[in-house]
A = this chain, B = another copy of it.
Amino acid sequence: MSYKVGIDVSGGDYAPKEIIKGAMLAKQEFGADTVLIGRVEEIEEQLSLYGCSSHDFSLVDAPQNIEMAESPAASIRRKKKSSIVVGTSLLKEKKIDAFVSCGNTGAVVCASTLILGLIEGVERPGIALMLPTKKGISLVVDVGANIDCKPLHLFQYGIMASVYYKLVLNKKDPTVALLNIGEEATKGSEILKNLHQLFYSSSLNFKGNLEARDILSGKYDCIICDGFVGNVALKVVEGSAETVGRFLVETIGRGFWGKLNLFMIKNRLKKFKGLLDYAEYGGAPLLGVEGIVIIGHGRSNHLAVKNAIKVALREVERNLTTEINRRVNEICQDSGVRQMLAP
């Protein structure tokens, strides 16, 4: 059976061009069946530019667009015909099996929560970022859906991240750690200290704290933090990688010999840049909502879009939402955990 992935063609810095190109590439490479959601005229025009017929894709008209700076809640209320609202509604009606958007993150989270609803037993949705490290991917949850995290939210992020890593990233007993200001169990806020106990009393493979400086070390599979902290951490990683890279190129390339050296290592530098290009790793799954939703980076190019579609299909095939529902309820009903959670 072929699954359908809905794509928000209007969202993202390089929309609609790169988004459509990504969908075409996904069809070409692994036969992905995609539904393009956006301004139909614009989509048809783009497709014809690439010598592609609009009959090769399903098209759904969504003439409105939610801009990056718009308030999420207000915009999804006001713009019923925006690609984000139309896309999540199609997912709700099961006309598509997954939805990918590189648009306004807050609006995607808000629309998904309101239109799809949360998986039974889950308290808050969380955005899971796949952070590339030398030792493989570290999955960081949450990186911005929930900036007012309660202990139970963080605990459930641990469960959902663990399910995701096992099911979609194929690792048997993924490790889970809390992002904190030190490795010792005595560090951090009262909330984090109490969370340790909760995690240890569960069946998760909990490893304690991860110090922020080790975030790129690949030491643990799942890294749990509140949405504000996770968003800051992620953006600081992006920002410093860029700054450091630029500083370095300037330092190396000064003067004639410098320029010559820079020329000689040019290809290596390009390869290196690819390593840090988070866009290449596809999008960030939104965990906890009743449906498969992938949030792409605003700066996604066609490769990022193609990879996000691939990730979405894998999540659908592996029944991610059902499994999250099962595990969250199983672990939260466990006697030890229930006792810890009792008020």
Contact = CB atoms under 8 A, between A and B. Distances in A.
A229 interface: yes
A200 to B, nearest CB: 20
B251 A244 contact: no
A52 interface: no
Given A229-B229, A236-B237, A268 B245 contact: no
A134 B239 CA distance: 13
Contacts of A186: 71
Contacts of A244: 240-241, 244-245, 276
A214 interface: yes
B229 A216 contact: no
A236 B212 contact: yes
A181 interface: yes
A174 to B, nearest CB: 21
Contact of A232 (B229, B239, B242): B229
Contact of A243 (B189, B216, B238): B216
A248 B248 contact: yes
B232 A248 contact: no
A69 B184 CA distance: 7
A228 interface: yes
Chain A: number of interface residues, binned into ranges: 35 or more
Contacts of A252: 265, 268-269, 272
A275 interface: yes
Nearest to A262: B265
A231 B248 contact: no
Interface string A220-258: 000001011101111111111111110110011010011
Contacts of A232: 179, 181, 212, 225, 229, 232-233
A272 to B, nearest CB: 4
A261 interface: yes
Nearest to A239: B213
A93 interface: no
Interface of A: 69, 71, 134, 144, 147-148, 179, 181, 184, 186, 188-189, 211-217, 225, 227-229, 231-245, 247-248, 251-252, 254, 257-258, 261, 264-265, 268-269, 271-272, 275-276
Task: Kindly list the 9 A-B residue pairs having the minimum CB-CB distance in the complex, ordered from nearest.
Answer: A213-B239, A212-B235, A213-B235, A212-B232, A251-B272, A181-B231, A216-B243, A240-B240, A236-B236
